[in-house]
Amino acid sequence: MENFFAHDYVYTAGMYSLVVISMIVYLSIFELVTKYSTWSEIKRGNVAVALATGGKIFGVANVFRHSMLHNDTVLTAIGWGSYGFVLLLFVYFIFEFLTPGFKVDHELGKDNRAVGLLSFILSVSLSYIIGASIG
C-alpha cells in the first residue's frame, strides 16, 4: 500500500481522505462523551460549543500535521494521529476535573463563551505539545 502513496498527488489525496475519516470518527467519539448534542447546539447558534468543537478539530488536525511530517509510513502517521486524539480526549477530562466549581458540559450547553474559548485554547495549545513530541 505504501507504493500506492509514492506519488505526491495520490499521497495528499489519500492522507486527506484518511484524516477526514479519522476526524469524523473522533468527533463521533467526542459526541458520545459530551452531555450536549454538538451539532444541534451549533445549529442553534451556540458559540461556546462551536469554539470547543473548533478547538477539537484544529487540535486533531494539528496532531495529524505533525504526525505526517515526522513519519515515513501512512500507517505510522495514522497511529500517531490516533494516539494524539486519545491524548486530546484526556484534555477534555482534565478540563472538567480542574474546574470543580462548574461543569464544563453544562456551561458549554448554556453558551458560556468564556468556557468555550478556554476549551478551544486548551485543545489547540496542547495539540502543539503533543505534536512536538511526535517523532
More confident residue, 1 or 63: 63
Question: Radius of gyration (Cα) for the chain, nearest Å?
Answer: 16
Average pLDDT over residues 31-35: 91
Average pLDDT over residues 18-44: 93
Instruction: Spell out the domain ranges in the chain.
Output: 4-133
More confident residue, 8 or 130: 130
pLDDT of residue 4: 60
pLDDT of residue 81: 87
pLDDT of residue 8: 82
Average pLDDT over residues 79-83: 89
